[in-house]
Chain A
Amino acid sequence: MTTGGGNMRETLLSVEGVTKRFGSTLAVDDAAFRLARGELIGIAGHNGAGKSTVLNVVTGRLAGDAGTVTLDGTTRDATAPVASADALGIRIVFQELSLCPALRVDETAAVFDRSVRGTSWRTAAWNHLQTVLDEMFPGHGIRRQQQIRDLSIARRQMIECAAAMLPGEVPAKLVILDEPTSSLDASSTESFYAYLHRRAAEGLSAIVTTHRLHEMIDNLSRLYIMRDGRIVSEEVAATSTKESLVAAMGVGGHEAARERTVSDVERPPVPDGAPVRVRIGDRATGAEVELRAGEIIGLGGLEGHGQVAVLEALAKAARSRLPGPKRTLRQDVTVDGTVAYVSGDRGDRGIFRYWDVGQNVTIANLKRLSTAGFVSRGAERRLVDGWWPRLGIKGGPEDPIVSLSGGTQQKALMARAMAEDPDLLLLEDPTRGVDQSTKEDVYALLRRQAAEGQCVVWYSTENEELRHCDRVLVFRSHEIVAVLAGSEATEDAILSSSFAGVSSSVAGAS
């Protein structure tokens, strides 16, 4: 399954002594690594460890200060940028989604696929893309005339991953994947790596960076660990564990301390008398789930099976002036109390790009912070100061929000919602593309809010992190098929509930 140690095989890429400075910061310090043809490797490290920078120098998007990059026998000086990585046979999948919302799927394919020409360019490009999509994500359900804007984040990411594998003018030798699976659920992720392995067997190489460490361990052959701009070690994936990687990444002590606080300070169980905040009733079966104040509830299952619809219905139910439940495809939901929502698409629906961090936190609370329509500067400042230490953000509240990394922006957005002091906090995949230590911060924030009596409802595409919940509702085809206690909510348990009914219904149908 794994592509094995690459030392006996032909070297495709060899990076020597790459250094890159931004002003006074040494972003990459004398980095060297190599990659064999047909090998899948990973580069692990915290945000700011230099992963993206070193990869940008390798692809030639960024000029390095020193070093050489040898690709397929051709050595080039890393200090010269390259006009088109495509022409070198390097394809890149970026973490931040880079599709155009206004275009159709087939037009999007044509934008990436330089090989199509002539009057039937859309059909040709779509055929190429569809071939890859069908192999990479069977049953993806993407149709050619759909607009990108109307697709879920997961489907957009599928298109980006597939577009990198299009034939193009120069066949791809090396694919660089930056958080390729951040919005994908477990089964799509699995089929994505299966596809990569098939392509690797044909000679394609790939470099993956992701904060989902278990993905690297399970799917790649070797991992380079970066810390403070340097490559500090090289690990064999098969013999690594998540803990060993975290330790190598250099925040071992920090991380372990955090883990201890989690296990040592167990949250008290939710008292029986806690007020019911949410009722989710299944219209067909009549089964009802009650969510109480102080609980953290996870919504699990495969992507797109109705979790977001429930979150949105909850938000609507709380904000609606009309009495009565709100309906999703299968459920009736009622909410008692106020609500705040953290969207999963922070670029599109979350941040105010031109404002500073403090303003981004207080915007949802201006009503409470103002008298007679005028915002009180002092009250605004007190609110920010009250939240600042909990967030653990480097720098000050006056920094522009876009100067923060994606994960840190997400924390600020969560603070915005939490500062509203809602009875019900709704989160749509808040840790998408966020590194491990920021994730831990997020979990701690959620526990703290729950301890203060908020009811947290949390949809995640990462089954692994749902163990932080008190209970997990597993969705399949818009139905809640299982309610697992937090301790039972292992990845396997969630996956088996997600699929358990499917096989029987398939059998029933035939």
Chain B
Amino acid sequence: MTQSVQTRPGIRAPEPRPARRLTGGSLGSWFLPVVAAVIMFVVIFAVAPAASSYLGLSLLLSSLLPLVLACLAQMFVIAAGDVDLGIGSFVGLVNVTVATILPTHTLTGILLLVGLVVAYALMGMLIAVRRLPSIIVTLGMSFVWLGLAILILPTPGGTVPEGIVSFVDWSPPLVPGTIVAIVVVTVVVALFLNRTRYGAVLRGSGSNPEGIRRAGWSVVRTKMALYGIAGLLGVLSGIVLSGQAASGDPNIATSYVLLSIAGVIVGGGSFRGGDVSPVGTVAGALVIGLIATLLQFLDVPSSYQVGTQGLVLVLILVLRAGVTWWRRRIETGGLA
């Protein structure tokens, strides 16, 4: 090792290696929401020990499953760099379809639900081809979904088929069916988005569509795929919600619009596009749903509940900003 002169290309800046990896980049954006969800469960179990029983967990979580699915639907749209303001009335339309058309005209009902998924994909195509702002398109479409639902079922009513109700009530031994459903959906979505090549292309197309186009992929097709998957998850959300409600109501899920966006963002996602985490989104959805339950358990007066729910969400986002800042600080070698 006595030769003193290295070849020039061999020398480069030393890697800016984080001083400690403890809080560093090894943690994904899903970490904080998962911790928040776990804390929520712990607090709820402490306040109401009965909630940790099989029945308690079933009751606690079954009302959250439709929201979890709606948050995942929203996540795919946010991954595209867009926002979906129509998911609430879309879920309502699915609910109305399931409660009115499906019991009498099963085939028509199924075709209609498939058609709704296709409609979502086409909406994505429209946004990609005409380069329209998604906020406007999805907001406009939300009135279309709602209008169709009211056309089908002007006042709440109808009957959800028995099969769907009992399917949603499925109670396997040991673990409540809702937990099984949440785990399965999370794993499938996470594997697809994070561990398949097309999943990477989809995220990339939200992050830098021009780059993906130059690499030889169709950006219209990726947009259609993202919106189509969102539509599929929206339909699933509507079916599960119908099974729990057992009847139809066009306005059943209007609160999902903002809750689902909050779920994705609390779950570590960002509006930049391509930056979403399925595991984090599910945790975010649980946090948002559980806050309301917890506040009820704590006997917080109902007039304070909504405001408190909002404050907790802001707190989580502040914490997230803090973690990001801390991570940067460590990675840049402690620059003050």
Task: Report A's interface with B, CB cutoff 8 A.
Answer: 84, 86, 92, 94, 97-103, 107-108, 110-112, 114, 116-117, 121, 137-141, 143, 150, 187-188, 190-191, 194, 302-306, 309, 312-313, 326-329, 477, 499, 502-504, 506-507, 510
Contacts and interface: CB of A to CB of B under 8 A. Distances in A.
Interface string B232-249: 000000000000000000
15 contacts: A98-B210, A99-B211, A108-B204, A111-B201, A111-B211, A137-B9, A138-B7, A139-B9, A187-B9, A306-B13, A326-B335, A502-B6, A504-B4, A506-B6, A507-B2
9 closest Cβ contacts across the A-B interface? A102-B274, A191-B9, A304-B13, A510-B1, A102-B207, A98-B211, A100-B204, A100-B207, A107-B200
B131 to A, nearest CB: 13
Contacts of B1: 510
Given A100-B203, A102-B274, A506 B4 contact: yes
Contacts of A140: 12
Contacts of B10: 138-139
Nearest to B211: A98
Given A98-B211, A100-B207, A503 B4 contact: yes
Interface in B183-205: 196-197, 200-201, 203-205
Contact of B208 (A92, A100, A326): A100
A321 B275 CA distance: 34
B9 A102 contact: no
Interface stretch (B83-91, B148-156, B213-221, B282-290): B213-221
Nearest to A141: B15
Contact of A302 (B6, B11, B333): B11
B11 A187 contact: yes
A304 B204 contact: no
Nearest to A103: B204
Contacts of B206: 102
B4 A102 contact: no
B333 A303 contact: no
A302 B12 contact: yes
Contact of B6 (A117, A143, A188, A503): A503
Contact of B11 (A84, A327, A499): A499
B301 interface: no
Nearest to B274: A102
B212 interface: yes
B275 to A, nearest CB: 5
B278 interface: no
Interface string B1-31: 1101111111111110000000001000000
B266 to A, nearest CB: 18
B280 to A, nearest CB: 14
Contact of B335 (A138, A191, A309, A499): A309
A103 B214 CA distance: 16
B174 interface: no
Contact of A141 (B9, B12, B334, B335): B12
A32 B207 CA distance: 38
A87 B8 CA distance: 36
A27 B12 CA distance: 41
A102 B204 contact: yes
Contact of A116 (B197, B205, B210): B197
Contacts of A188: 9, 12
Give the one of B2, B12, B272, B334 with max A CB within 10 A.
B12
